[in-house]
């Protein structure tokens, strides 16, 4: 198995035992990535990465046992970085250099992770297929003619290909979970406010949340340990006591119940919302999800039917609220304060108009138009305010299920990865509809994961399917422990994309 796919602990042990050095890992990764056949990476700078690797190696040599030290990572290109340009996948920010690092970047840097560069993403994180990047489309390592999902598609593709151990992503309406699902890796969107948004290029501020993407729940938990925490610089950051997100691994998830090795999920109540299994869910996805639920039952969990009655409304509510916030956030890119500036303007208005026309791509423009419309005088109450009311009702639906269930489970995406020449290029609405199962947890601010749970087999193609697990607010530790327990019973998360095993394997 490729070195990078063995997980953080194995890699960290290999570093500690001097079987490999942090700088060798960087060299290996650069060789693996090569000319980036998956379109997963936007900026790389060998010297900057090696410098971080040397610093990490020095700490390792001095006996520093930090769990992430020397482990390679890619950052989604919406996190601002001093050492690499930040574009958010847009021409608008081409060549932009931030004078500071995003808080997530700073924290992972301090933990000793070695940044290999910036991961490709949909422009301003708008999309579900990573085909809206202004620079290049990203591809799925399980089948390079398919999308990797979006908007954190570059992050997911690079991890799935084994180019890098872990990556950061951001999830506004599903962008950590959905690409994780489509690429067969593990991803977590934490509770809104858990991770600082400082230095994350804003899309929809009341929804945006960073999250770890890696090979397993264990890796995600270790990353979350470093990423989470209060940050004064972000007014929406939550001041919570520090926690170890691995603390329930191998322990009972039900308070006051003894851990049972043979039935690790004994006593857990898992809700299966009927709306997540209704029309629209492709049979190739439904089948692995059903077997995953059987696995959970075999592990002692009780799967109960439940209902999230406003699931269908999450699409119109989200696609009003997110564009509204985006239109406001993106107003700053006017060619003067920020972003691309048009050449030889006739006057000020011409400068604004052409800078924005040239800098933004079609999907971003579409959302700015929708956002400006729903916020405009006379329509505000009918659309924006109404969507906020629906958002509240959606959150209440989740809360009432959590009165009798510990977790909610279902699919992440109604289909597996679709062909690149497919719907995302032709029909924006079809792309929006594919977000049906992820938007609810985003609107409600809940933590949710995607965990590999099988494949849809098409001809000889194996396309990954992800199980979504949604938890009550602040229950990341239990959520990760449940995902970890599932991964102790199954090996879906260990399967490797063909590009990796055939051509690019590096044995440890
Ligand atoms: N697909 C959704 C959108 O385009 C979610 C994107 C995201 O989570 N960043 O808005």
pLDDT in tens, 427-444: 788 888 899 999 999 999
User: What pLDDT does 505 receive?
Assistant: 40
Q: Exposed/middle/buried for 251, CB within 10 Å: 0-12, 13-18, 19+?
A: middle
Q: Which two tokens stand for residue 179?
A: 């690409």
Determine which of 347-356, 385-394, 498-507 has the lowest per-residue pLDDT on average. Answer: 498-507
- Three-state DSSP class for 82? coil
The ligand 1 atom at the shortest distance from the C-alpha of residue 435 is: 1
pLDDT of 103 above 60? yes
User: In terms of DSSP bridges, do strands 166-171 and 72-76 run parallel, antiparallel, or are they unpaired?
Assistant: parallel
Residue 378, pLDDT > 70, answer: yes
Structure tokens at 200: 């994350």
Mutate to test the pocket of ligand 1, among 174, 182, 325 (most ligand atoms within 8 A of CB): 174
Q: If DSSP codes are grouped into helix, strand and coil, which group holds residue 360? A: coil
Spatial neighbors of 453 by CB under 8 A, at least 6 apart, are 288, 289, 291, 292, 465, 466, 467, 486, 490, 492
Q: CA-CA distance, 199 to 75, in Å (whole number)?
A: 12
pTM (2 d.p.): 0.96
| Residue 211 confidence (pLDDT) above 90 | yes
From the CA atom positions of the chain, what is the Rg in Å?
22
Active-site residue (options: 21, 90, 133, 151): 151
Q: Which of 171, 175, 188 to mutate to test the pocket of ligand 1 (most atoms within 8 A of CB)?
A: 175
> 17: which DSSP letter?
T
Distance 231 CA to ligand 1 centre (A): 24
357 is catalytic: no
Q: How far does residue 66's CA lie from ligand 1's centre (Å)? A: 33
Ligand 1 atom nearest the C-alpha of 171 is 8
Yes or no: say if 245 and 225 are a contact pair by the CB < 8 Å rule: yes
CA of 142 to the centre of ligand 1 (A): 22
Q: Which residue among 151, 154, 429 has the greatest number of ligand 1 atoms within 8 angstroms of its CB, and so is best to mutate?
A: 151
Let me know if 138 is a catalytic residue.
no
Candidate list 175, 216, 424, 450, residue with the active-site label = 175
Distance CA 125, CA 153 (A): 10
Q: What's the rounded Cα separation, in Å, for the pair 119 and 73?
A: 10
Q: Name the closest-CA residue to atom 10, ligand 1.
A: 126
Active site residue 503: no
Ligand 1 pocket list (CB less than 6 A): 125-128, 151, 171-175, 203, 322, 435
Ligand 1 geometric centre to CA of 318 (Å): 9
What three-state secondary structure class fits 180? helix
Q: Where are the alpha helices (DSSP H) in 162-204?
A: 177-183
Q: What is the mean pLDDT of residues 304-331?
A: 98
Cis check: omega of the bond before 151, within 30 degrees of 0: yes
- Say if residue 189's pLDDT is above 70: yes
Nearest CA-CA partner of 413 in 450, 367, 380: 450
**Alpha-carbon span 445 to 395, nearest angstrom:** 8
Residue bearing the CA closest to ligand 1, atom 5: 173
CA torsion through residues 276, 462, 146, 215, sign: positive
Q: What are the two backbone dihedrals, phi and then psi, of residue 447, each rounded to the nearest 5 degrees?
A: -75, 140
Q: Give the pLDDT confidence score for residue 256 in this predicted structure.
A: 82
Mean pLDDT, residues 77-98 taken together: 97
Q: 1: pLDDT confidence band, cut at 50, 70 and 90?
A: low
For the CA of 207, the closest atom of ligand 1 is: 8
Output the six-digit token pair for 161. Answer: 């290909």
Tell me the pLDDT tens digit for each residue of 388-442.
999 999 999 999 999 999 999 999 999 999 999 865 555 788 888 899 999 999 9
Contacts of 34 (CB under 8 A, 6+ apart): none
Q: What is the overall mean pLDDT for the chain?
A: 95
Does position 502 have pLDDT exceeding 50, yes or no?
Answer: no
Sort strands 72-76 and 114-119 into parallel, antiparallel or unpaired: parallel
């Amino acid at each position: 198995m490729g070195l990078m796919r063995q997980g953080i602990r194995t890699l960290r042990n290999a570093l500690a035992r001097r079987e490999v050095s942090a700088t060798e890992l960087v060299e290996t990764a650069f060789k693996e990535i090569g000319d980036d056949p998956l379109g997963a990476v936007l900026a790389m700078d060998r010297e900057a990465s090696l410098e971080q690797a040397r610093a990490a190696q020095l700490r390792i040599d001095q006996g520093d046992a930090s769990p992430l030290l020397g482990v390679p990572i890619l950052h989604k290109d919406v996190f601002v970085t001093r050492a690499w340009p930040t574009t958010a996948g847009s021409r608008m920010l081409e060549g932009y250099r931030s004078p500071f690092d995003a808080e997530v970047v700073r924290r992972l840097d301090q933990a000793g992770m070695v940044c290999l560069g910036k991961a490709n993403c949909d422009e301003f994180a708008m999309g579900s297929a990573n085909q809206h990047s202004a620079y290049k489309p990203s591809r799925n390592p399980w089948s390079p003619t398919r999308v990797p999902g979006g908007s954190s598609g570059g992050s997911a593709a690079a991890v799935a290909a084994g180019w890098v151990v872990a990556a950061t992503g951001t999830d506004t309406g599903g962008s950590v979970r959905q690409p994780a699902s489509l690429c067969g890796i593990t991803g977590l969107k934490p509770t809104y406010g858990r991770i600082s948004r400082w230095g994350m290029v804003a899309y929809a501020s009341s929804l945006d949340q960073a999250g770890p993407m890696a090979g397993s729940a264990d890796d995600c938990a270790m990353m979350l340990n470093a990423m989470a925490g209060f940050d004064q610089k972000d007014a929406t950051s939550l001041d919570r006591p520090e926690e170890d997100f691995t603390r329930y691994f191998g322990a009972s998830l039900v308070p006051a119940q003894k851990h049972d090795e043979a039935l690790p999920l004994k006593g857990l109540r898992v809700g299966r919302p009927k709306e997540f299994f209704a029309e629209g869910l492709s049979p190739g996805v439904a089948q692995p999800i059903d077997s995953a639920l059987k696995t959970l039952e075999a592990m002692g969990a009780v799967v109960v039917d439940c209902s999230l009655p406003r699931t269908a409304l999450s699409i119109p509510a989200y696609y009003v609220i997110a564009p509204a916030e985006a239109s406001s956030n993106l107003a700053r890119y006017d060619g003067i304060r920020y972003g691309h500036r048009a050449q030889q303007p006739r006057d000020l208005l011409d400068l604004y108009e052409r800078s924005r026309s040239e800098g933004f791509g079609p999907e971003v423009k579409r959302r700015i138009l929708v956002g400006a419309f729903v916020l405009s005088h006379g329509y505000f109450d009918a659309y924006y305010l109404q969507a906020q009311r629906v958002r509240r009702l959606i959150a209440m639906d989740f809360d009432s299920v959590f009165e009798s269930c510990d977790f909610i489970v279902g699919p992440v995406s109604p289909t597996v990865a679709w062909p690149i020449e497919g719907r995302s290029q032709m029909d924006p609405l079809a792309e929006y509809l594919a977000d049906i199962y992820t938007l609810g947890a985003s609107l409600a601010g809940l933590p949710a994961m995607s965990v590999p749970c099988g494949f849809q087999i098409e001809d000889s193609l194996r396309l990954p399917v992800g199980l979504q697990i949604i938890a009550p607010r602040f229950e990341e530790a239990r959520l990760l422990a449940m995902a970890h327990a599932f991964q102790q019973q199954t090996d879906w998360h260990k399967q490797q994309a063909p590009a990796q095993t055939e051509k690019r394997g590096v044995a440890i």
